Amino acid sequence: MSVRPIAIERTGLVTAVGLTAQECCAAFRARIANPTETRFIDSAGAWIMAHQVALESPWRGLTKLAKMAALAIAEALEDVPKSQWARLPLLLCVAERARPGRMAGLDDELFALIEQELGVRFDGRSSIVAEGRISAALSLAHARALMADAPDGRVLIAAVDSLLTWPTLIHYDSEARLLTERNPNGFIPGEGAGAMLVSLAVDHAGLVCTGLGFGVEPAPVDADEPCRAEGLTRAIKSALAEASFEMHDLDFRITDVAGEQYYFKEADLALSRTLRQLKPSFDLWHPAECIGDVGAAMGIAVLALAEAALRKGYAPGRRALAHLGVDAGRRAALTVGLMQP
């Protein structure tokens, strides 16, 4: 293996189907979803459906994002004494800056609100990673660099996002990208938060990320040219090379695909370009069918599902490929698996 794997020690997750990683992953396994009507009406006069997180009070905006993120972080740090939290750098994943209707305050207010909610000040090496659905993968690469000089150190990665604002919803509705009774080729918007505590793997009996790769798709979802999965293929090949794997060495795939045909076709094309040995099956899991498109929180949801499935033994093997992408074209791929102590 060319680089040291990254151990994912513990995860936290908050979505519309649960307020802990255990609850969410149980719902993913059972394929439980709970979309409900929002306060918004689409261009056809129908209520927009969404996967909404139900908290104890009807908070909105940055306040709700901070509350969700704090819940996920507290779960991920459950085994870490609170006196040690301030030593951890926090890499906070949020929506990409080009995202339509992006909430104001994500770059300059949300971090402080989360610290206030938790009653802690995180390490000065903390930063904002504003790259949407690929933020978690980029944060793993950043975390690995941070830990290179301190191999015994750990990094906290958290992500929080919501597509349930009117400017965002009206944009996707006008582009015919929301799933409705009239439009089967769309996604259901969602919201959520996730967190994971990571370290450099040393005798770690749990989930590890063994390879990371990135690419850019020249024909993204809103382009006039057909997608040939060039960016995703490049990301997958890079992740495989870093892990010293071939595609057929992996057992299943988990992705952030939320329902649009474009992304399913891209996944199939990338598979055809990277799989060189016949496999009887190569499942594609997509937790967005249960929680909708949760934006920046999607990467941690994907990894939390991989951890639960591999640890509990209901995954079709011991290694998985995760891949993520944003509408503008950036793609990320990760190889993950269980490491024996």
- List pLDDT tens digits, range 7-57: 999 999 999 999 999 999 999 999 999 899 999 999 999 999 999 999 999
Do 8-200 and 207-338 share a fold? yes
pLDDT digits (tens, 9 = 90+) for 260-310: 999 999 999 999 999 999 888 999 999 999 999 999 999 999 999 999 999
Mean pLDDT of the 47-71 span: 97
d(CA 268, CA 178): 22
State residue 287's pLDDT score: 97
For tokens 């680089």, the residue is: 3
pLDDT at 206 over 90: no
State residue 340's pLDDT score: 64
pLDDT at 1 over 60: no
Please answer whether residues 129 and 138 qualify as being in contact, where contact means their C-beta atoms are separated by less than 8 angstroms. yes
pLDDT digits (tens, 9 = 90+) for 158-203: 999 999 999 999 999 999 999 999 999 999 999 999 999 999 977 7
Strands (E), 186-275: 191-200, 207-216, 252-255
Q: Which CATH topology does 8-200 take?
A: Peroxisomal Thiolase; Chain A, domain 1 (3.40.47)
Q: In what order do the strands lie in the sheet with 6-14?
A: 127-130, 90-94, 154-162, 191-200, 6-14, 207-216, 330-338, 319-325, 252-255, 284-285
d(CA 48, CA 180): 8
pLDDT digits (tens, 9 = 90+) for 89-108: 999 999 999 999 999 999 99
CATH class for domain 207-338? Answer: alpha beta
Percent of the chain with pLDDT over 90: 92
Cα distance between the two ends of the chain: 17
State residue 2's pLDDT score: 59
Pairing of strands 207-216, 154-162: unpaired
Mean pLDDT of the 209-217 span: 97
Sequence ranges of the domains in the chain: 8-200, 207-338
Task: Provide the token pair at 338.
Answer: 């269980």
State residue 341's pLDDT score: 55
Task: Provide the token pair at 283.
Answer: 């499942």
